[in-house]
Structure 1
Amino acid sequence: MHQPPRRVGPALLLCALLAACSQPPAPLPDDESILPPGSPYANGAAYPWSDRLEEPVADPYAAGRDYPWQSPTAASTLEAQAVRSGLNELGDLPWTSATNGWGPVARNHSNGEQDVNDGRTLTIGGKTFAKGLGVHADSSVKYALNAQCSTFTASVGIDDEVGKRGRVTFQVLGDGRVLYTSPDVTGADSARAVFLNVIGVRELTLNVLKGTSTYYDHADWADARVMCQAPRPSGTVFMSDLAYTTATNNWGPVEIDASNGEQKQGDGRPLTIGQTAYTRGLGVHANSTITYDLGGVCQAFTAVVGIDDETQGRGSAAFTVYGDGRLLSSSGRVPAVLPGYEEAPVVVRADVTGVRELKLVVTDGGDGKSFDHADWADAKLYCNPGRMAGTTDASFGQQGHASVGGVDSVVEPDSAVVLLGADFSVKRVSAGGKVSGAGSVTVAGGSARALARQSNGTLVVVGEAKGAVVAVRYLPNLQPDPSFGTGGVKVIQYGEAVQVGETENSQTQPARSSANDVTVQPDGKIVLVGTLTQSVQPIPDHTDSTLDHLIARLNVDGTPDTTFGSSSKVTLKSPGYISSTCGELDDVMAAVALQPDGKIVAAGNSDCTGATDSLIVRLLPGGQLDQSFSTDGIAYPAPLGNYGDNIRALIVQPDGKVMIGGGTDRFQTSAFVSRLTPAGGPDGGVIFQIADEFYEQGTIYSLAGQADGKVVFGARSPNSQNLGRLNADLTLDTSFGIESSGYVTVTAPVTSVNIDPLGRIVGSGAADTVRVLP
């Protein structure tokens, strides 16, 4: 076709004369019907664009800013295959950063012009594509794969919207290493297939490089996809070595073995919490969720958590672990450590036995998300092919847990568990972990404390209501026993009213008593312990009311057993019952147990402003002090802590030794276990640092002996070390629990622990009951 002569403007003529133009004029299209005269498409003009590469600010580390990111989704068995196919279209995924030579990078369209959505259908060599990226040389688009994916595929070429013009090179990088470089591609070429192995690649970079110029270099990454697969973990594996199924993060991508840093992949620093550096882990920013497919093959998860030191003492976060949607462990609010300070690490542990989907969730600590650079440091899974001692019993409830609890519990011969509610109600949980029965009585204003089972299957509950001891008995069908008290309820006032003050000017202090623990003798008689009010004269002509130790016995029908002690009870005062600091000490019996020979062992405390004295008492069956025990029937064990030991649990071992447990140090910030010989002498003791002093309590609430001589304890610990096991020498049993720690992670305090007929360990607390394998 004849072409008319072209008109040359003065500027272009000058450029030609001086040979000073940086680019030649755009040539005419090969097919003028494709590109009408005056068509744009970057014919020599420039409109550079970038995304998420903001300049550094005075306060980095996401100070009030957002940069939300979502990972590719890896194939897994967690949902239907169509949902979790593992095929990810890059046109639908957020990049970590992007630059482009002409307007924005276009998602699932050609590059078009300057606006975001002004592109057309991706078309190369007459073939159209529904998905992909439309770019213009020079361009670079980066994605955080974090070693989740195995293959990258695409069809690349110059989009048909520029006709046969343009010349570019396509380049793919994995972690900065060139994986693929195309030959020169022009608008006359058809789509070129790209198939790459990206196993282990953390950052994928897609570059389009210009040829001799950037004229009309509209390039398409058509059908750009990554295929991702989440392998099942095995052995002991760091989370940073395990591909997740999906992840979201509030500031840039999740970082592997580094802190969250700023916007880019790989811009974090070494993980550091409280001046301690960790080589392995995950760096995230609240709010963040990372999901893994465990496939039910793991037993335990652990991590050290906290705000990374890079925030210079700013920010806070809460770390939570979920298994199949159920809460497994939570750190509570964890504030940043101030610069220069060292603090004990916060450890999160979770029993993940049978868990298929594990979620690691970080939320802000209630003060907003600024500076919430959170670390899952040293995070790892324990996935042993053999059974780990202390793993939850998957045949009980949901993965070893029944979402029902109480203040105390007993195990029945068929492995069912009966749980006591604080309102004196009872529930039976079957051996399979399902609630199979319930019963209740009305005790206005009452507070139940302890539960015991008689050999005939009846259940005895004790506690307090309106300042008096309350005892309730249930039949095996969980209905109140009409032969006991009134409608199954017996109320007894053991305390005495006291005229308090000077003799000529006194006031009446009402009687009070309560029961804290109970056991049942083989003959059906009931022994309870607690406290009661009695009078004391600290100085002549002055009377005060004080709480004293109470040990009492009831007949089978609930009436006081007048053959026991003095009128059905034994009362004791602490030997130093009057203190210059406290006045009269409050004496409380906390626990009771029976020996096979019928002797009664009880343990209690005397409290004085955070300091505690404890005592162990052994009585003959008739209630008299056993003179063969510590010379007079009462032992005063030397405290393990600086402020005395507060006893909460007691058992008598088969060899006659007496083991006690509770809390020690001021305000019971540490847990302890101590043991006495059958004669009442010291036989060792140990303190467990399961809590931070002055912050949280660490207390053992319950003890249970195994047939092999090992002892299991239920506890309260801020680190979720709420169920543990001791060897016969009182050392932690390192064959039990997570990281050979001697502990099983239970999210709530375990106030009662039992051994069932098959040797399995049953721990219960206020809202959960767990059964673990021995």
Structure 2
Amino acid sequence: MHRSPRRVVPTLLLSALLAACGQSPAPHPDDESVLPPGSPYANGAAYPWSDRLEAPVADPYAAGRDYPWSSPTAASTLDTQAVRSGVNELGDLPWTSATNFWGPVARNRSNGEQDVNDGRILTIGGKTYAKGLGVHADSSINYALNAQCSTFTASVGIDDEVGTRGRVTFQVVGDGRVLYTSPELTGVDAARAVTVAVTGVRELTLKVLKGANTYYDHADWAEARVMCQAPTPTGTVYVSDLAYTSATNNWGPVEIDASNGEQKQGDGRPLTIGQNVYARGLGVHANSTVTYDLGGACQAFTAVVGIDDETQGRGSAAFAVYGDGKLLYGSGRVPAVSPGTQEPPVIARADVTGVHALKLVVTDGGDGKTFDHADWADARLYCNPGRTAGTPDASFGLQGHATVGGVDSVVEPDSAVVLLGADFSVTRLSATGTLAGTGTVSVPGGTARALARQSNGTLVAVGEASGAVVAVRYLPNLQPDPSFGTGGVVIRQYGDAVNSVPAKSLATDVAVQSDGKVVLVGTLSRAYQPYPDDNQSTLDHLIARLNPDGTPDTGFGASGTIALATSAVSSTTCGELEDVMSAVAIQADGKIVATGNSDCTGGYIPLILRVGSTGQLDPSFSGDGLADASVVSGGYGDFIRAVVIQPDGRIVIGGATERFQTAAFVERLTQAGAPDGGRTFQIADEFYEQGSIFSLAAQADGKIVFGARSPNSQNLGRLNADLTLDTAFGSQSSGYVTVTEAITSVNVDPLGRIVGSGPTGTVRVLP
């Protein structure tokens, strides 16, 4: 075997080193198989050691375990001395696990013997090193880099304390892949410089492998360093794709796109909160702080926060978002969700405009750190210098657009979108806009009109078939729910046949109560007598409620039905009117708000009402349960298409107004039904064209999102809390953006993004 030229070691120095090590000079220094008298390796002696490799147990906290961890620090614009920042001495950093053949791994010292601090100054080839790691083959040390570093460097070799003995090979491993292997080095070799690219590496492993045996294999990773840098983010980016500037965690490393797990890198599971699974995010353990350099280039941060389901309902934590030291969001105490329970997500949102240092902080919620496995799920930053709200979200479909559409849509807790086809089919698009599932149900001749989602994940669609109301319920897997009606389908005729005119009824909108009862609105045929003994057929407003199994709720209205004629509650000269309910929403207190329209010569008569839990008109709403919805135009012009309840309980309606509905309008009512502002605005390209709002959604900050269209344009728009157009939304300071989809449904997803859909497709824009 070829050997490097033998290094000459002064006799007195060699004797002193060996005496200090309790070792006598070997008679044959080139042959480690011959043990000198007094050798510590005689009779197979060994002192195997490991750190942070305990097997998981049911309650690691009761076992007295603790795994505090901190990351390397990355260079960034936050560091005023960036030239010297980002260089991390591994001898000063916590490893995630380590094994060593002979006593502990030594920090900034040689391996020595079996005790913790019995090493000496790291010395290779007569050169000393202040920093590094002293090990003994075989050894392995793991560090969690989490893809934030670019380069590993070290000077490696056998420590001078063993003289010319020892024979080892050094290896650098990244995420299980060997990145570097040294030649076999012996006690006569000088230090060898090592430089390895570690860009993208999450777990760095430093290994020292023995030669023919382990005798005197005192190996040094001198000046072992990682260089890390955290560039500022651009575009819409998952936080888990970013290099953080620093991180601390109370129990093992911060995990990327996984839960906190136990103490090691990569021992987490899919991020799961309240049975909702998230593909991206950070898994941490209270107390934890993760810092990012935004460089003032971002506008918004969003995440779903909570205790991971892996704790089986144990633990709690408080989440906070800080920008340049200022609290931007605080969740308060968030307890774990009970096993098997699906809960609505807790959404963290923060305006980070101009922020440089972003800190994501998790504390223990005031009850100790036990089982505080906390998730920043689906955590994202929106970083588009100069961008305006309303920009298509490039992470969805093809540059924000998906070619799958429907007559109505809902968003789910994981930001998936479910679309209702006119034939009662349903299609799910994932949070990235890809096809994630479909479902169909047989409704011959049916036409679907509206879709609603219950908190347990079931979906209810309504419409009509052959002149009767149809309601369909789908399981979360998009298959018909056999516990609802017949095979998931309810077909019910609410109308009356009059003389030769057949009965007719249809549903136009639907909402699901927290108890699973289904509220639908629409129209039904009823008899009226313009003259004595002259029975004719007309259409009246319909509100109906079904039990969770699809049967009529006999405790609501008259056997589950409210039929209301506008002519009975409004002074009108139009005679008997064709009445149709257009939209329904359920307040937080369970009261039902419904809107409708009645056809009248020259325009429409709008109607907005509120009923209580048993279907009676609510006298606390405008005195009799009926509010005047003609505030905007002041006459018979308003046609209401949409209603939404704001987080503060105020009611917002939208539709079209003025002669022939040539202007879009919004109007807001207080909880008591009093006028609370309104406005009209032009959507159509030409003043004489019709333009209407078709759908409304409320943001958590009080702003209102709308979908509108005219014959020549389709728009998504946003109103400020005072109902003025939000000129920050849209590139032309107009308050709305033109899209290619014919918007009939608009939603705000759990991360604040705006989803608009219609028969031609679906679009998602940034908030």
What CA distance in whole angstroms lies between the structure 2 residues aligned with 1:701 and 1:46? Answer: 85
Q: What code does the residue aligned with 1:639 have?
A: R
Structure 1 residue aligned with 2:571: none
Aligned to 1:121: 121
Matching residue of 2:388: 388
Q: Is the 8 A contact 2:643 2:654 kept in 1?
A: no
User: Does the C-alpha gap of structure 1 residues 291 and 84 become closer, same or farther in structure 2, counting only changes over 3 Å?
Assistant: farther
Question: Aligned-pair distance for 1:165?
Answer: 1.2
Tell me whether 1:637 sits opposite 2:616 in the alignment: no
- CA distance in 1: counterparts of 2:241 and 2:589, whole angstroms: 47
Task: State TM-score, norm by structure 1.
Answer: 0.53
CA contact (8 A) 1:672 1:700 kept: no
- Residue 294 (structure 2) pairs with residue 323 (structure 1): no
Q: Is the 8 A contact 1:77 1:293 kept in 2?
A: yes
Residue aligning to 1:49: 49
Distance 1:95 1:649 in 2: 69
CA contact (8 A) 1:649 1:660 kept: no
Sort the Cα spacing of 1:701 and 1:271 in 2 relative to 1 into closer, same or farther, 3 A.
farther
Q: How far is the alpha carbon of 1:199 from its aligned partner?
A: 0.6
CA-to-aligned-CA distance 1:451-476 (integer Å, 9 cap, x gap): xxxxxxxxxxxxxxxxxxxxxxxxxx
Partner of residue 97, structure 1: 97
Alignment counterpart, residue 653 of structure 2, candidates 652, 674, 685: 674
Distance 1:85 1:185, change over 3 A: same
Secondary structure in 1 matching 2:111? coil
1:469-618 correspondence runs (5 A): none
CA distance in 1, matches of 2:336, 2:588: 32
Structure 2 counterparts to residues 346-361 of structure 1, below 5 A: 346-361=346-361
CA contact (8 A) 2:108 2:122 kept: yes
Q: Which amino acid aligns with 2:651?
A: F
Residue type of the alignment partner of 2:653:
S
Alignment length (residue pairs)? 478
Amino acid at match of 1:381: L
1:468-487, CA deviations, whole angstroms, 9 ceiling, x for partnerless residues?
xxxxxxxxxxxxxxxxxxxx
Deviation of 1:61 after TM superposition, in Å, equals 8.1
2:444 counterpart residue number: none
Cα distance, 1:264 vs structure 2: 0.8
Q: Is contact 2:257-2:281 (8 Å) kept?
A: yes
Correspondence for 2:206? 206
In structure 1, C-alpha distance between the alignment counterparts of 2:676 and 2:656, rounded to whole Å: 20
CA distance in 1, matches of 2:65, 2:612: 48
Query: What is the match of residue 187 of structure 2?
Result: 187
Q: 1:148 to 1:630 in 2, by over 3 A?
A: closer
Distance in 2 between the 1:122 and 1:610 partners?
71
Paired residue secondary structure (2:91)? helix
Task: Give matches, 1:183-332, under 5 Å.
Answer: 183-332=183-332
TM-superposed CA distance for 1:333, in Å, is: 2.1
Who is 2:18 aligned against?
A: none
1:365 deviates by 2.2
AA matched with 2:271: L
3-state DSSP class of the match of 1:637?
strand
Q: Does the 8 Å contact 1:29/1:164 carry over to 2?
A: no
Of residues 193-202 and 639-648 in structure 1, the stretch that sits farther from structure 2 once superposed is 639-648
Cα RMSD of the aligned pairs, angstroms, is 5.0
677 and 292 in structure 1: CA distance in 2 versus 1, 3 angstrom threshold = closer
Aligned residue type for 1:265? Q
Q: Distance in 2 between matches of 1:701 and 1:267?
A: 57
Do the aligned partners of 1:248 and 1:288 also contact (CA within 8 Å) in 2?
yes
Partner of 2:139: 139
Matched to 1:674, the amino acid is: I
Q: Secondary structure at the match of 1:638?
A: strand
Shift of 1:45: 3.3
Is structure 2 residue 26 aligned with structure 1 residue 27? yes
- 1:55 deviation in Å? 2.8
Query: Is the 2:656–2:665 contact (alpha carbons within 8 Å) kept by the matching residues of 1?
Result: no
Using the TM superposition, give the Cα deviation of residue 288 of structure 1 relative to its aligned residue in structure 2, in angstroms: 1.0
Contact 1:289 1:361 in 2 (8 A): yes
Q: Looking at CA atoms only, which structure, 1 or 2, has the larger radius of gyration?
A: 1
Match of 2:78, SS state, is coil
The AA in structure 2 aligned to 1:333 is R
Q: Distance in 1 between matches of 2:321 and 2:261?
A: 23
Amino acid at match of 2:66: D
Superposed displacement of residue 367, structure 1? 2.0
Cα deviation for residue 756 of structure 1 reads 10
Question: Equivalent residue of 2:374, what SS?
Answer: strand
Is the 2:697–2:705 contact (alpha carbons within 8 Å) kept by the matching residues of 1?
no
Residues 678, 385 of structure 1: alpha-carbon distance in 2 compared, 3 angstrom cutoff: closer
Aligned position for 1:87 = 87
Name the TM-score, length of structure 2 as normaliser: 0.53
Contact 2:667 2:676 in 1 (8 A): no
Structure 2 gaps of 5+ residues are 1-22, 31-35, 392-586, 596-602, 684-690, 736-765
Structure 1 residues 664 and 199, CA gap change in structure 2 (3 angstroms) = closer
* Amino acid across the alignment from 2:170: F
**Conservation of the 8 A alpha-carbon contact between 1:238 and 1:281:** yes
- Matched residues in 1 for 2:674 and 2:139: separation? 63
- The Cα offsets for residues 719-739 of structure 1, whole Å up to 9 and x where unpaired, read as 954444445689xx9856xxx
**1:123 aligned partner, one-letter code:** T
**Quick check: 1:673–1:685 contact (8 Å CA) kept in 2?**
no
Take 1:136 and 1:700, find their aligned partners in 2: how far apart are those partners?
80
8 A contact 1:661–1:672 mirrored in 2: no
Q: Tell whether the 8 Å contact from 2:87 to 2:225 is kept in structure 1 after alignment.
A: yes
State the Cα distance separating 1:208 from its structure 2 match: 0.9
Q: Which runs of 5+ in 1 are unaligned?
A: 1-23, 32-36, 392-607, 617-628, 689-696, 737-741, 745-749, 762-772
Q: Specify the code of the residue in structure 2 equivalent to 1:672.
A: I
Answer whether contact 2:79 2:85 (CA < 8 A) is retained. Answer: no
C-alpha separation in 2, matches of 1:707 and 1:270: 47
Relative to structure 1, the CA distance from residue 142 to residue 684 in structure 2 (aligned partners, 3 Å threshold; closer, same or farther) is same
Asked if the contact 2:112–2:120 (Cα under 8 Å) also holds between the matched residues in 1, the reply is: yes
Structure 2 vs 1, CA of residues 754 and 84 (structure 1 numbering), >3 Å: closer, same or farther? Answer: farther
SS state of the match for residue 310, structure 1? helix
Contact 1:704–1:711 (Cα < 8 Å) also in 2: no
Contact 2:664 2:692 in 1 (8 A): no
Task: Name 1:379's counterpart in structure 2.
Answer: 379
Q: 1:684 to 1:286 in 2, by over 3 A?
A: farther
d(CA) in 2 for partners of 1:649, 1:54: 70
1:101 to 1:755, Cα distance in 2 relative to 1, 3 A: same
Shift of residue 384, structure 1, vs aligned partner: 2.6
Q: Match for residue 427 of structure 1?
A: none
Amino acid at match of 2:242: L
Aligned to 2:578: none
Q: String of CA shifts for 1:243-277, please: whole Å, max 9, x gaps.
A: 11111111100111111111111111111111122
Displacement of 1:350: 1.9
> How do 1:144-155 residues align onto structure 2 when only pairs under 5 Å count?
144-155=144-155
Give the direction of change, closer, same or farther, for the CA distance of 1:332–1:210 in structure 2 (3 Å limit).
same
2:300 and 2:361 mapped to 1: Cα distance?
A: 17
Report the Cα offset of residue 351 of structure 1.
2.0
CA distance in 2, matches of 1:180, 1:333: 47
- Counterparts of 1:649 and 1:349, CA distance in 2: 36
1:649 and 1:110 map into 2 onto residues whose CA distance is 85
Shift of 1:672: 3.3
Structure 1 CA distance, aligned partners of 2:630 and 2:95? Answer: 61
Shift of residue 70, structure 1, vs aligned partner: 0.5
Q: Is the 8 A contact 2:666 2:679 kept in 1?
A: no
Residue 541 of structure 1 aligns with which residue?
A: none
Q: In the alignment, which residue of structure 1 is the partner of 2:558?
A: none
Question: Structure 2 CA distance, aligned partners of 1:613 and 1:239?
Answer: 40
Structure 1 CA distance for aligned equivalents of residues 628 and 291 of structure 2: 40
Letter in 1 for 2:168: V
Label 1:86 to 1:613 Cα distance change in 2 as closer, same or farther (>3 A): closer
Q: Partners of 1:143 and 1:116 in 2: how far apart?
A: 20
Partners of 1:307 and 1:336 within 8 A in 2: yes
Contact 1:152–1:195 under 8 Å retained in 2: yes
Q: CA 1:612–1:180 in structure 2 vs 1: closer, same or farther (change >3 Å)?
A: closer
